[in-house]
Structure 1
Amino acid sequence: MSGALGILFGGRARRRWIHLVLGGALAMPYVLVGSVILGPLTGADDLFSSLPLQLGSFAVGLPLAAVTSLFPPTRALESAAVRALCGVDADALAQGPARTRAERGRTAAWFTLHLGLGGIVSGMSLAVPPFAATLLVLPLLAPLRDNPLALPPALDHTWVLALAPVAGLALPAALAGCAAACEALLARSAPALLGPTPADRLAAAEAGAADLAVRNRLARELRDSVGHALSAVALQASAARRVLGTDPDFLREALAAIEETTRRTVGELDAVLGVLREGDAPGTAPAPTLAADLDGLLRRTRAGGRRVAASVDTGPAELPALVSREAYRIVQEGLGNALRHAGEPVRLRIAATGGDLEITVENRLGTRTAPRPGGGHGLRGIADRVRLLGGASHAGASGDTWRLHVRLPLKGSP
């Protein structure tokens, strides 16, 4: 019983009833225009004194409502009302205005259905309550039959007077049931008539994929720049602490490397965060490249006390800009892994062979630390960069050596 009362008079039912009443309110101007059109045709002076003429005005006004609903913003406004009052999932409704002919046609069908059902329920909501109240007190009005306000003869029978209160109680429930049925029909029809088209869903999927790609790119850039810098600074600070008071030259070199690393990282962080702003802010630091920044990367890595043997068999300045930038990040991540987990020495080889740029980082396997929560994304980031450039990568242990090998095409890269 409580479930049935909730369906008819609960919070959602009341909100949906308001949605129907709004439809009836929107229908009123069209009904008035319909009465202006229908009046000269029927010769009636007062259309609202006759129920058939009122229904005729309503029927004439609905096609006019369908025509005016062809304006593109109608779909967005109706979708907002359905989401707020009918409880329809927002993902099932289109967000923007109707643009194509099919979208406008479906919006016109929805608008006509909303105003039609809303007008009917609104009219019933105005007429049923006073009529139900009259039926409830009808037995008390029986003594007035000799009065100028006497009841119609049909209501003067004893059995009619006895059943009138029952009918008075049943009418509000019937009205609530009718309103619930009409709104259920609207809620079921909303996704079909106001929902996104396949083109809308495709556009939303493409926008989501583009947003995910930007987020993944930002995550790679932040991890590669900031993560590597923090690892390098931690190693350099540890080396400086060990030689404190015994090797002032190395101490000065380590502190200078820490200063340079943090300064560069702030610039790189500003460049990455510029992507999140409303357009790239002018003056942000450019992304590092293999041609311009490899020597500094090696110097800062060695300042932490690691022995790094580097062999470069190609001119980094001759590399395409995109390949040079991504290659720098790959080398940075490879050296960062060696700083965090590996033993010495670390061997780096960069060579251009057969139209490809090959990067190899090898190091002796050391005592690997326990993986930190949320870590372990470095090799995945390398694989993502390599895949986007159409290359190939492999990383793994071979005996007591860890080897990272990457091949990037120099021509035809996206």
Structure 2
Amino acid sequence: MSPRTAAGALLGRTARLRWVHLVLGGALLMPFWLVGSLVVLPLAGGGETLLSGSVSGQFGAYALALPLAALAGLFPLVRPLSVAMARALCGVDGVRFAEGPARGPAARRRTAAWFTLHVGVGGLLSGAMLALPPFAVAVMLLPVPGVREFLRVPASLDRTWVYLLGPLAGLAMLLALAACATAAGALLARYAPVLLGPTPADRLAAAEARAAELAVRNRLARELHDAVGHALSAVTLQASAARRVLDRDPAFVREALTAIEDTTRRTVGELDAVLGLLREGDEAALAPAPTLAEDLSGLLARTRATGTPVDAAVETDIASLPALVSREAYRIVQEGLANSLRHAASSPIALRITEAADTVEIVMENALSEAAAPRPGGGNGLKGIADRARLLGGSCTAGPDGDRWRLTVRLPLTTGRAGSAGGAR
């Protein structure tokens, strides 16, 4: 190792930060050491004090302080404080540390072990950093006249060779202290991710939080796709139909423009709600979708305003459907209509909603054409419909049926399944 490399290892930025980490460990040990001193020094006798006690008394207080520090390390909040210091000062990649307070016995034990190691090693090195440098400097100044008398060097050491070796001995002491501090810092950096890293329980909690976040994001994606996608398809076709008959049928144009205004106003409100959730992270802020009873007629009217005939047969009392089933059924009908407009705009749409055996069935058909074939790369409309049906415990089938494209969705009306699906949302 070259002198420059050795100097970098002992005095470089990483080494200096780890020294600071060790000093902080010594500072954290002080309260426990003071408590240990109050117990040990009176037992030692001889009128010893905190500052003038014997070496054995000082180390006795240190030995008693370590178990006290281990007990303090069991508190959950010790881990985030320790992680913050280790992440900033130990030179270890921050992703290797656990986040949040220690939960569970295993995490608390590991945190207590780390805290004890940190304050124990830091206390020893901090004491050495306070005591050794002044002594080393004094040894280096032995050749200076008057220093020997001031330091009261014993006669047995009053030798010329001792004075000549003083500077070298003092420098060796300082280098040894720097090497010990560097080794101690490297030791803590090695064990920091081991003792402060995530436990299996932490990884499970992180996975569950990630799954919950993805579930919310998937729900937002479905809401945006169904609401905004349907609106854009409808508005595009409404504007196209109005343009084609602008000179011949002013009444239809007015109806189409009114439908465009209504569609965009409703969609802007839904878009604001979803974007508000993205900004604030509060799922309760997301306004629920309309139900079939609230807006099925409006949805059909806006679709017909595109110039596409829609033959709807509702053979059940949609007002009596459970709210969750009715909302999801509304989104399914909305997306089914949007798919028909997107892939087969000129084809009449047949919609039938029936109820039988505690199941509501939604069937939507339109003429099969090349436009109805799946797009390159596919889309998310049918997948979103299938997801909504699955979350309610239902089923979804879609595909060609002779010369027709048919979408069939069955949703159970049982309270138990509807309740569990509501929780899944």
Classify the TM-score, shorter chain. Answer: 0.7 to 0.9
C-alpha distance 365-292 of structure 1, shift in aligned 2 (>3 A) = same
Tell me the equivalent position of 1:19: 21
C-alpha distance 366-112 of structure 1, shift in aligned 2 (>3 A) = same
| Matched residue type, 1:61 | A
Aligned pair 1:379/2:382, yes or no? yes
Q: Helix, strand or coil: the match of 1:309?
A: strand
Tell me the equivalent position of 1:119: 123
| Matched residue type, 2:126 | S
Tell me the equivalent position of 2:40: 38
Tell me the equivalent position of 2:407: 404
Aligned pair 1:334/2:346, yes or no? no
| Matched residue type, 1:266 | V
Q: Is the 8 A contact 1:144 1:151 kept in 2?
A: no
Aligned pair 1:392/2:395, yes or no? yes
Q: Is the 8 A contact 1:347 1:362 kept in 2?
A: yes
Q: Which runs of 5+ in 2 are unaligned?
A: 421-425
Distance 1:191 1:22 in 2: 18
C-alpha distance 137-207 of structure 1, shift in aligned 2 (>3 A) = same
Deviation at 1:252, TM superposition (A): 1.0
Q: Is the 8 A contact 1:288 1:325 kept in 2?
A: yes
Aligned pair 1:229/2:231, yes or no? yes
Tell me the equivalent position of 2:364: 361
Range moving further from structure 2, 394-403 or 71-80: 394-403
Q: Which runs of 5+ in 1 are unaligned?
A: none
Which residues in structure 2 correspond to 1:91-110 (within 5 Å)? 91-98=95-102, 100=104, 103-110=107-114
Partner residue of 1:65 out of 65, 69, 86? 69
Tell me the equivalent position of 1:130: 134
Partner residue of 2:353 out of 350, 355, 380? 350
| Matched residue type, 1:129 | P
Q: Is the 8 A contact 2:340 2:349 kept in 1?
A: yes
Q: Is the 8 A contact 2:292 2:327 kept in 1?
A: yes
Distance 2:408 2:48 in 1: 90
Deviation at 1:117, TM superposition (A): 0.5
C-alpha distance 166-257 of structure 1, shift in aligned 2 (>3 A) = same
C-alpha distance 156-339 of structure 1, shift in aligned 2 (>3 A) = farther
Give the number of equivalent residue pairs.
Answer: 409
Distance 1:161 1:398 in 2: 105
Distance 2:125 2:156 in 1: 27
Deviation at 1:118, TM superposition (A): 0.5
Tell me the equivalent position of 1:297: 299
Q: Deviations over 1:118-167 (max 9, x none)?
A: 111111222333344345455x34x6698565644565556655655444
Q: Is the 8 A contact 1:313 1:351 kept in 2?
A: yes
Q: Deviations over 1:255-296 (max 9, x none)?
A: 111122122223333554565545746xx8652122332221
Q: Is the 8 A contact 1:15 1:86 kept in 2?
A: yes
Q: Helix, strand or coil: the match of 2:191?
A: helix
| Matched residue type, 2:341 | L
Deviation at 1:370, TM superposition (A): 11
Q: Helix, strand or coil: the match of 1:305?
A: coil
Deviation at 1:254, TM superposition (A): 0.3
Distance 1:43 1:244 in 2: 108
Q: Helix, strand or coil: the match of 1:350?
A: strand
Aligned pair 1:178/2:152, yes or no? no
- Identity, % of aligned positions: 62
Tell me the equivalent position of 1:243: 245
- Kindly report structure 1 stretches of 4+ aligned residues shifted beyond 6 Å: 368-373
Distance 2:151 2:165 in 1: 21
Aligned pair 1:204/2:206, yes or no? yes
Distance 1:289 1:13 in 2: 65
| Matched residue type, 1:25 | A
Distance 2:257 2:176 in 1: 84
